[in-house]
Amino acid sequence: MAKFLLLAFRNVFRNRRRTMMTLLMVGGGVAGLLLVGGFFGSMYDGIRESTISGGLGHLQIFTAEHFRRDEVRVLDTGIDNWRQVAARVQTGNHVRGVAPRIDFYGLVSNGYKSSMFMGSAVDPAAEKSLGFSSHVETGRDLDGKPDGEVEALVGADLAKSMGVKVGDGLTLLTTTTDGAINGIDVQIVGIVKTGWSEVDARYLRITLTSAQRLLATDRVTNLVVGLDATRNTDAVYAQLLPNLKGQGQELTLKKWIDLATAYKQIRGLFNTIFVFIGIIVFFMVLMSSVNTLLMTMFERTREIGTMLAMGTPRIWIIALFMLEATLIGILGAALGVGGGDLLGVLLNHAHVHLPPPPGTTVPMTFRVLLVPGLMIGASIMAVISLALASILPAIRASRLQIAEALAHV
């Protein structure tokens, strides 16, 4: 077996130039997949962390009722005793903090024009402690001081539509939890870009206390839990879930991934693109390798005839060709992993910037993640591709007519 392996290995380097070309082709395919996959991986990580730090948090607590039915009135499925729940959650391992939120909606008016808004009310101190940041383009974030004017952050597109800027006033109109109409004057302290233009056209944020006063309630929609690291999400979820029982209301816990619809859609789309690219690379390597291996077979016709004449079982000839192709696949994959990783590191150091993705407004940096799973997967793909490519030449070699093969020039 060792001699057979040695024969295969030496045959691989028999025609060095051709082997090098094949290795470059296989390596190029693997490196390409690593770069594309690594870039997608980096993009997923970036979107995930920006989604979480943008306010989604790692976990969110709602009433179970919130997911069973639509609200008839604002906050009628909200959490009552949220302060006790937050205090209890806060003591858990890996928990950095808990931020209460209210989601509400209504009309915003500048005196002569009205528009819909989707409001979010937050406790600025809690948000800040969790590192949740609003992408304030101009002005400043909410400071949460109880006295003075009611402060508001407004989405850039909403501000543009309403013709307002930092320092201007707006009036918010909404229905309270009792169904009554209520209004409040707010002063714009900052213009925000969320990265999603559809959101920016409706975005409005005020403090939690202002919203509770506007909506005439002490409830909140949900509690956002921030952790020390995203990787701890599952562990904290398992730890918190039983602690939420016996809180009066039936509460439920959601992981960030359950709520990050856009993230999942993006990931699904790019995973499909990656699989498509992978299939193309697979077939490119396969087809060009078939050609190369057939050429090798024709060149070695007389040698194969000699081996068969000496009584070599035909299955050995098949095994030899497949082994040689597999070796090329392994070497090509190693070259691709090395080259792809090196190129990835160089590109990461080059700090290449890309235009904002469709639907977003924030430019992204081209980064490539070095993902071991991807390296293994791409390498396996290359080896399988070469092994499959060798089947036809191997079978043809094994079926050669010995006398004709020996007379081959």
Partner 1 sequence: MNNTDTLVRVEAVSRRFPLDNSPGRPAGSTFVSALNNASLRVEAGEFLAISGPSGSGKSTLLNLIGGIDQPSSGRIFIDGVETSGLKVKAQATLRREKIGFVFQTFNLIPVFTAAENVEYPLLVQGVPSSERRRRVAEALEDVGLSARAQQRPDLLSGGERQRVAVARAIVHRPALVLADEPTANLDTRNATQLIDLMRDLNLRLGLTFLFSTHDARLLQHTPRIVRLCDGEIVDDSVESAANSNEGGRHGEVSAACLS
Q: Which stretch binds partner 1 (CB under 8 A): 39-47, 174-182, 253-261, 312-320?
A: 312-320
Q: How far is the CB of 371 from partner 1 (least distance, A)?
A: 38
Of 197, 232, 312, 326, the residue at the interface with partner 1 (CB under 8 A) is 312
Cα gap 333→14, rounded to integer Å? 19
Q: Does the footprint of partner 1 cover residue 302 (CB under 8 A)?
A: yes
Q: How far is the CB of 313 from partner 1 (least distance, A)?
A: 6
Q: Which stretch binds partner 1 (CB under 8 A): 7-15, 180-188, 235-243, 362-370?
A: 7-15
Look at residue 244 and give its three-state secondary structure: helix
Which of 8, 4, 126, 38 lies closest to 390 in space, CA to CA?
8
Report the 10 Å Cβ neighbour count for 95. 20
Q: Does the footprint of partner 1 cover residue 303 (CB under 8 A)?
A: yes
Q: Which stretch binds partner 1 (CB under 8 A): 34-42, 91-99, 279-287, 307-315?
A: 307-315
Q: How far is the CB of 267 from partner 1 (least distance, A)?
A: 48
Q: Which stretch binds partner 1 (CB under 8 A): 41-49, 252-260, 384-392, 396-404?
A: 396-404
Cα-only R_g, the chain? 31
Q: Does the footprint of partner 1 cover residue 20 (CB under 8 A)?
A: no
Provide the mask over 344-383, with x wherever binding to partner 1 is found by CB under 8 A and - wherever it is not: ----------------------------------------
Which of 30, 37, 35, 2 lies closest to 328 in space, CA to CA?
30
Provide the mask over 259-298, with x wherever binding to partner 1 is found by CB under 8 A and - wherever it is not: ----------------------------------------
Q: Does the footprint of partner 1 cover residue 196 (CB under 8 A)?
A: no
Beta strands in 57-168 (DSSP E): 59-63, 95-109, 114-122, 136-139, 151-155
CB 109 within 8 A of CB 171: yes
Amino acid at 118: M
Q: Does the footprint of partner 1 cover residue 314 (CB under 8 A)?
A: yes
Amino acid at 336: G
Cα gap 217→210, rounded to integer Å? 10
If the CB atoms of residues 11 and 212 are measured against partner 1, the closer one turns out to be 11
Q: State the first-to-last Cα distance of the chain, in angstroms, to the nearest integer.
A: 30
Of 235, 269, 295, 309, the residue at the interface with partner 1 (CB under 8 A) is 309
Q: Does the footprint of partner 1 cover residue 328 (CB under 8 A)?
A: no
Phi, psi of 107 (to 5 degrees): -110, 140
Report the 10 Å Cβ neighbour count for 190. 20
Which of 198, 173, 169 lies closest to 186 in space, CA to CA?
169
Q: Does the footprint of partner 1 cover residue 7 (CB under 8 A)?
A: yes
Q: How far is the CB of 402 from partner 1 (least distance, A)?
A: 4
Q: Does the footprint of partner 1 cover residue 408 (CB under 8 A)?
A: no
Cα gap 222→60, rounded to integer Å? 7
Give me the residues paired with residue 102 across strands: 121
Q: How far is the CB of 389 from partner 1 (least distance, A)?
A: 21
If the CB atoms of residues 277 and 402 are measured against partner 1, the closer one turns out to be 402
Q: Which stretch binds partner 1 (CB under 8 A): 108-116, 206-214, 249-257, 306-314?
A: 306-314
Of 47, 308, 328, 387, the residue at the interface with partner 1 (CB under 8 A) is 308
If the CB atoms of residues 350 and 403 are measured against partner 1, the closer one turns out to be 403
Cα gap 125→128, rounded to integer Å? 5
Alpha helices in 300-367 (DSSP H): 301-309, 314-350
CB 329 within 8 A of CB 378: no
Q: How far is the CB of 1 from partner 1 (least distance, A)?
A: 9
Q: Does the footprint of partner 1 cover residue 395 (CB under 8 A)?
A: no
Q: Does the footprint of partner 1 cover residue 4 (CB under 8 A)?
A: yes
Which of 161, 138, 197 lies closest to 357 in space, CA to CA?
197
> Tokens 């499959």 label which residue?
388
Q: Does the footprint of partner 1 cover residue 3 (CB under 8 A)?
A: yes
Of 10, 68, 145, 231, the residue at the interface with partner 1 (CB under 8 A) is 10
Q: Treating both helix axes as pointing N-terminal to C-terminal, what angle do 314-350 and 16-51 enclose, rounded to 10 degrees? A: 50
Residues forming the site for partner 1 (CB under 8 A):
3-4, 7, 10-11, 14, 302-303, 305-314, 316, 401-403, 406
